[in-house]
Homo-oligomer: A and B are copies of this chain.
Amino acid sequence: MTLTPEQLAEIAEARSETKATLRATAEGMEKHLYVAHEVLDHGLVRVIDYMGDDSAITQAARVSYGKGTKHVTNDEGLIRYLMRHWHSTPFEMCEVKFHVKLPVFVARQWIRHRTANVNEYSARYSILDREFYIPAPEHLAAQSTVNNQGRGELLQGEEAQRVLDILRDDATRAYDHYEDMLSQDGQKGLARELARMNLPANVYTQWYWKVDLHNLFHFLRLRADAHAQYEIRAYAETMCDIVRDWVPLAYGAFEDYRMGGVNLSAKGVEVLKRRLAGETVTQENSGMSKGEWREFEGVWG
């Protein structure tokens, strides 16, 4: 990522203006405000604003639980209880706004999470920058032979080089032509809303993305998961680190119950109970399909 000196100056300036507020503040989050966290080769995640902290979750829950909360003596216990029992609304009481720079094919996955607010840089209105995602060699993988939507072995040698050359050359040529078509030098210049169609899906776009903590956790559970495509996972992991600093108790509960948790089907519960009772269970007598059994074994051996 290469922030321009102007952009770096703007960030430094934003971080220099401390204001007084009566609102809840989260120390761990203040240190992230405006700072550009690099992701991929030209991408970034920046926290632009946030609302609430761990206490905001329990404060809201205690309106909904009122005088009855005396038995849950501390925030952590209550937050863990709420997470364990799928109470979503208290976590919706925290909100965060990110500035994200990301390749278009990542943006297309990301936007499928509908419960968020988005303002994207408009390529109808403005001209996109000449920046494209080119995978690092350690992410240049072959199609998986077992997973229709995943990666397998790394590409090597000549094949890897050829792919990188193609991606770089095609992106460069596409952008050169984008500029040529837009140019008003000796010609009218194609409308921006049309010219953009020549740009490939690895061009970078950017947006402001604002989301509540419940929906952010949902996003992170799916996108920081090992099955998510590497490129979006890189963003999700950066955001996990930020959220851990922001709401450490809620993040701890999220890690225990969601990221590190396991969903068992009724069949899975029964198999585990049989195993605990000493029985040897195989796929054949488990009632599970081969695919299910493979996933089950992946966790339980």
Chain A residues packing against B (C-beta within 8 Å): 14-15, 17-25, 30, 33-34, 48-52, 56, 59-61, 63-68, 71, 77, 80-81, 84, 86, 89-90, 92-93, 95, 97, 99, 103-105, 107-108, 111-112, 114-115, 117-122, 124-127, 133, 135, 140-144, 148-153, 155, 159, 162-163, 166-167, 170-171, 173-174, 177, 180-182, 184, 187-194, 196-202, 206-208, 210, 212, 222, 229, 255-257, 259-269, 272-273, 275-276, 289, 291-292, 295, 299-300
Contacts and interface: CB of A to CB of B under 8 A. Distances in A.
Contacts of A300: 273, 276
Contact of A257 (B140, B171, B263): B263
Contact of A149 (B60, B61, B193, B222): B193
Given A93-B210, A155-B190, A193-B151, A23 B21 contact: yes
A278 B30 CA distance: 47
Copies in the complex: 4
Nearest to A287: B256
Contact of A159 (B177, B188, B207): B188
Contacts of A23: 19, 21, 33, 49-50
23 contacts: A19-B23, A20-B30, A21-B23, A49-B56, A51-B95, A66-B122, A66-B125, A89-B119, A93-B97, A104-B108, A104-B201, A124-B229, A135-B194, A141-B194, A142-B191, A150-B193, A167-B198, A170-B174, A170-B177, A197-B202, A200-B201, A210-B212, A261-B269
A33 B114 CA distance: 28
A149 B122 contact: yes
Which of A60, A84, A184, A257 is the most central at the interface, judged by chain B CB atoms within 10 Å of its CB? A60
A257 B120 CA distance: 24
Nearest to A111: B111
A198 to B, nearest CB: 5
Contacts of A202: 197-198
B148 A71 contact: yes
Which of A67, A93, A103 is the most central at the interface, judged by chain B CB atoms within 10 Å of its CB? A93
Ordered nearest first, which 8 A-B pairs have the shortest CB separation?
A: A260-B266, A66-B126, A142-B188, A92-B117, A197-B202, A114-B114, A60-B119, A124-B149
